[in-house]
């Protein structure tokens, strides 16, 4: 696995997929606080500098989109102009406070739960594409096609959260 820092290729944006397995059904009382916070976090994301796009279902979020046969397996897929924009949103907004509470709502993951990759500036990745990138990261390790925060120059806020 290469630890070489990457630079953003010209004409690209940064795509991110993160996944989680909930401790209970999304409509359960255990997940109620998460669902309320999710609406606020998604609304903030869409107003944030550098935000390009996010995957949404009929619910307005992606919790009703199935990436697995497991009902409790959820995804978040978005595109950002630059790594700095995504990092600012992820670690310097309400998102960070919600992330800090993840153990209340989600199982610990034994495999990577986040993958990043470059997409053409006019491309919105499909869920299948994103899951393929996560699978590539899980089975083959980091590469130019599937990587984590540590490969991005200047990204450092994630270290405080121990997010890989």
pLDDT at 69: 87
Rounded to whole angstroms, the Cα distance separating 53 from 86 reads 12
Can you tell me which residue has the tokens 């978005």? 78
pLDDT at 37: 96
Q: What is the CATH number of domain 12-161?
A: 3.30.70.100
DSSP 4-56: PPP-PPTTEEEEEEEEEEBSS-TTSGGGHHHHHHHHHHHHHHHHSTTEEEE--
CA pair distance 74, 54, nearest whole angstrom: 14
Rounded CA gap, 147 and 3, in Å?
10
- pLDDT of amino acid 2: 46
Report d(CA 129, CA 104) in Å as an integer.
Answer: 29
Please list the ranges in the chain whose pLDDT falls under 70: 1-4, 153-164
Break the chain into its structural domains and give their ranges: 12-161
CA dist 152 and 33 (Å) reads 32
pLDDT the model gives residue 152: 81
Task: For residue range 11-30, list pLDDT tens digits in order.
Answer: 999 999 999 999 999 999 99
pLDDT for position 3? 58
pLDDT value, residue 1: 43
């Amino acid at each position: 696995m290469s630890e070489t820092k990457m630079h953003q290729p010209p004409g690209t944006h940064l795509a991110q997929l993160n996944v989680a397995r909930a401790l209970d059904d999304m409509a359960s009382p255990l997940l109620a606080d998460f669902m309320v916070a999710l609406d606020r976090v998604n609304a903030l994301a869409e107003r944030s500098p550098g935000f390009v796009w996010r995957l949404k279902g009929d619910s307005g979020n992606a919790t009703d989109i199935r990436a697995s046969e497991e009902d409790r397996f959820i995804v978040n897929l978005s595109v950002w102009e630059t790594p700095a924009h995504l990092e600012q949103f992820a670690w310097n907004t309400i998102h960070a406070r919600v992330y800090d509470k993840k153990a209340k709502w989600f199982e610990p993951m034994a495999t990577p739960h986040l993958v990043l990759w470059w997409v053409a500036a006019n491309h919105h990745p499909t869920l299948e594409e994103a899951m393929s990138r996560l699978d590539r990261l899980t089975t083959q390790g980091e590469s130019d096609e599937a990587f984590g925060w540590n490969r991005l120059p200047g990204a450092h806020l994630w270290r405080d959260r121990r997010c890989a």
